[in-house]
Amino acid sequence: MDRESLEAKAEKTLRDTDTFRLPVAIDRLAQRLNLTMEAGALGNDVSGMLIIRGERGAKPQLFIDGYMSFRRDATSSTGAERNEVEANQLGAALLMPRNLVKKELLSNDLNLDDEESIEFFAKRFQVSTPAMANRLLKLKVLLL
């Protein structure tokens, strides 16, 4: 799925489930989609995991069937594995929706050249500072 379609579907899903607000309540999102969330210990090379299980026989209501791990290893950032790329894009689009990022940027007078501003922004979205910096780069809001 191309990035623009994924962004649009993520926002529509959040709006349809009344979870389009900060911070995005992933547990509430899963509940409203009748999905099961599981917690567990992850290895050092895994930064997050998305497991989507709908009712038996029903198609998952999000974008990736089964499970996808958001790995951090030599190949995870290369873009070589399409499913890994889509999983990372999905995670970012759900946790840091493009239009909420833009809205927050407009309502907060932040200097994004300052690491403290990016840390503040990450706390607003309850994500890591590197995840927020990467998202701002992908949205072409933060320039190197």
Question: Do 85 and 144 share a domain, yes or no?
Answer: no
**Backbone dihedral angles phi then psi of residue 52, each to the nearest 5 degrees:** -120, 115
> 126 is in which domain, residue-wise?
96-144
Question: Do 38 and 64 share a domain, yes or no?
Answer: yes
- Cβ-proximal residues to 89 (8 Å cutoff; 6+ apart), any chain: 3, 6
Coil vs helix vs strand at 10: helix
Residues of the chain falling short of pLDDT 50: 57-71
Question: Do 59 and 103 share a domain, yes or no?
Answer: no
Cα 89 to chain centroid distance, Å, stands at 6
Question: Do 55 and 82 share a domain, yes or no?
Answer: yes
pTM across the whole model: 0.75
pLDDT score, position 42: 60
Residue 120 CB-density burial (10 A; 0-12 exposed, 13-18 middle, 19+ buried): middle
Q: Looking at the 3D structure of the chain, how many domains does it have?
A: 2
Question: Do 6 and 46 share a domain, yes or no?
Answer: yes
pLDDT score, position 14: 94
Structure tokens at 98: 């493009």
Question: Do 56 and 34 share a domain, yes or no?
Answer: yes
pLDDT score, position 63: 36
Question: Do 85 and 103 share a domain, yes or no?
Answer: no
